[in-house]
Amino acid sequence: MIDLHCHLLHSIDDGPSDLEGSVMLCDLAAENALETAIATPHLRDLTEMPAFLAARDERLGELQKELKDRNIPLRVLPGAEVYASDDLFFCRDLAGASLNGSRYILIEFDFSGLSINRVLRYTDEVFKAGLIPVIAHTERYAFFSGGLRESEFSSRQGRPFSSQCLKPRGRRRQGRVLPCV
């Protein structure tokens, strides 16, 4: 199993306060059949990307070393939960914040009062950067809870779309956004 969105890096926003707390979370995750986790600390200010990436990579390296030393079989990979704002229109390189260097990037929006048109403008900027947005916390946005389906969002955007959900193998939930955490 893979977790695409977790805050387990120590001393960064929602993560544990110390390395030992991060190791404990990883150990628990591995005990519960998680094989890979993408660490996604919040990137709230795109103008601070170099400092953010340096801090994330430092904590990630410390955690990976500790997991290896303790034989905890969890792969922890780099990512970010990027807060979508007008900074997206001026950011030259979003790729450093992608999920493990892939074309996918985890995006979070303002939870209150953001229009679907604004969301479409932000996601369009992500596509222009050559990336595919993975929308975090779809259950929190009024335009999704009001009945907008993934397929409708995709057709409005004219491009592929991914909400932050893994569909269990063998079971399909068609035509609606799955609740995601």
Nearest in space to 98 (alpha carbons), one of 58, 38, 163, 160: 38
Are residues 102 and 63 located together in one domain of the fold?
A: no
List the pLDDT tens digit at each of the 181 positions of the chain. 999 999 999 999 899 999 999 999 999 999 999 999 999 999 999 999 999 999 999 999 999 999 999 999 999 999 999 999 999 999 888 999 999 999 999 999 988 777 888 889 999 999 999 999 999 988 887 766 665 555 555 555 565 555 554 333 333 333 333 333 3
Q: Do 84 and 72 belong to one domain?
A: no
Domain of residue 129 covers: 80-181
Structurally, the chain folds into a number of domains equal to 2
Same domain, 74 and 85: no
d(CA 107, CA 126): 9
Q: Is there a single domain that holds both residue 97 and residue 166?
A: yes
The three-state secondary structure class of 119 is: helix
pTM: 0.81
Final residue before a domain boundary, out of 60, 78, 96: 78
